[in-house]
Amino acid sequence: MQRLYRKRIVLGVGGGIAAYKSAELVRRLRDQGAEVRVVMTQGGREFITPLTLQALSGHPVHLDLLDPAAEAAMGHIELARWADLVLIAPATADVMARLAQGVANDLLTTLVLATDAQVALAPAMNQAMWRDPATQANAELLRGRGLRFFGPAAGSQACGDVGPGRMLEAEELAQRAADCFQFLSLTGRHVLITAGPTQENIDPVRYITNHSSGKMGFALAEAAAEAGARVTLVTGPVHLPTPDRVSRVDVVSARDMLAACEAAMPADLLIAAAAVADYRPEVVAAQKLKKDPTKGDGLLLQLVRNPDILATLAQRADRPFSVGFAAETENLLEYASRKLKDKNLDLIVANDVANPSIGFNSEENAITVIDRELHETAFAQTSKGKIARQLIAFIADRLNQH
Ligand SMILES: Cc1cc2nc3c(=O)[nH]c(=O)nc-3n(C[C@H](O)[C@H](O)[C@H](O)COP(=O)(O)O)c2cc1C
């Protein structure tokens, strides 16, 4: 089985003797189905040629931060966004020190700062360098920030010493890279995600809508695709680019959204992150409404209930594992748990949209997930991209136990 099928791996190559093993590692990662892009440090280039890694990865090797050509095509930000995993092998003492300090003086260290993806280091160095308190303190700091360490192994070293500091073999590193995705695994699953607001027409030029930006739903779609799912994203009107590997269906009204979701069924997992209008105007005026002086200063708009998309899909015989969102401005957890029961959901994600630093239109979010046993799991405030990855990992875990 290709355990890294369609996974995107940035392989960072530092300036150590073990860089010769990176060539083999590119092969092993590709054998597992991964797409690999190589970034080399200045030091890395002294030990193995970019040409070798270009030939093995099938793509030009990225060398410079300040490269106008690379910036236009795929500079540090593009690579940071592209990656599902950044694996640095060999990770030299110098690369570790620079990462620990947040130094961003070359392409590799800059993209590590810029990425939301998982980062793993395969240290490779002389045993005394590895044991040195400075290196150990850096490793501790980086582990504390969530970077993973693959190795090092102990044994005989190129310099003649014996001890810890050997880089793991390529085969083992490829397996460890695959392990990074095992808990996220939605491979083979169809995931249906709704996002954004809906628009409910009043007349040909006016509509009722809400402040949803769609950012959370789009981040979830991206994270689900990274986790190997086939993703259908049904979205109301938003100004967001379609995440890679996601199939997008644009809709306007709540009724359109329900129809698009029904057309996309069956799905294994439904995540309803859209802010769907509960009501729509009963009658959509055929012509633009004019001010009517005979009716005084008011205008009475009669509204009717929209279909409940989530409840409708969660009640089907082939119902997917159903996850709802409760965006509330008060009594958050109480309203959210009521919604979980009323709509027959498996999980509900509660977020407090009264807090301007999270929720609608903001870049960050903080959420609490409630399950059927009313057990609450809180996710601390961070970027919507990071929250999305954590949430997808959590949901995938529950789905896989289901
Ligand atoms: C022959 C030779 C071998 C080296 N091997 C290693 C090594 O295995 N691990 C390490 O951390 N540094 C090693 N170094 C030191 C690094 O090359 C040096 O710290 C360099 O600045 C690291 O560059 P980087 O940050 O691009 O990885 C070696 C140096 C030389 C001259």
Lookup: tokens for 25: 């590692």
Work out the angle at residue 136's Cα, subtended by the Cα atoms of residues 133 and 140, and round it to the nearest 5 degrees. 135
- Specify the pTM: 0.59
pLDDT tens digits, one per residue of 43-60: 999 999 999 999 999 999
Helix (H) and strand (E) counts in the chain:
15, 19
Fold topology of 190-281+302-401: Rossmann fold (3.40.50)
Rounded CA Rg of the chain: 25
Mean pLDDT over 360-366 rounds to 79
**Which residues line ligand 1 at a C-beta cut-off of 6 Å?**
14-18, 41-44, 92-95, 124-125, 129
Q: Which amino acid is at 305?
A: R
Pocket residue to mutate for ligand 1, from 17, 20, 40, 168, most atoms within 8 A of Cβ: 17
Over residues 160-177, the mean pLDDT reads 92
Q: Which residue's alpha carbon is nearest to atom 22 within ligand 1?
A: 15
Predicted confidence (pLDDT) at residue 193 exceeds the cutoff of 70: yes
215: left (phi over 0), alpha (psi -120 to 50) or beta: alpha
Nearest CA to ligand 1 atom 4: 16
What fold characterizes domain 2-179?
Rossmann fold (3.40.50)
Protein residue closest via CA to atom 9 of ligand 1 = 125
- Picking from 4, 399, 396, 394, the residue whose alpha carbon sits closest to that of residue 179 is 4
Token output for 205 = 């030029």
Better pLDDT: 360 or 248: 248
- CA–centroid distance, 86 to ligand 1, in Å, is 20
29 assigned to a ligand binding site: no
Residues noted as catalytic: 159
Residue 184, pLDDT > 70, answer: no
Q: How far does residue 48's CA lie from ligand 1's centre (Å)?
A: 12
Ordered by start, the domain boundaries in the chain are 2-179, 190-281+302-401
Report the distance separating Cα 193 and Cα 310, nearest Å. 11
Q: 2-179 and 190-281+302-401: same fold?
A: yes
CA distance 235 to 260: 9
Strands 246-250 and 279-281: unpaired
Atom of ligand 1 nearest to the CA of 96: 25
| CA 223/CA 243 separation, integer angstroms | 9
Residue 183 exposure: Cα atoms within 13 Å on the Cβ side: 8
Is residue 396 scored above 70 in pLDDT?
yes
56 is in an annotated binding site: no
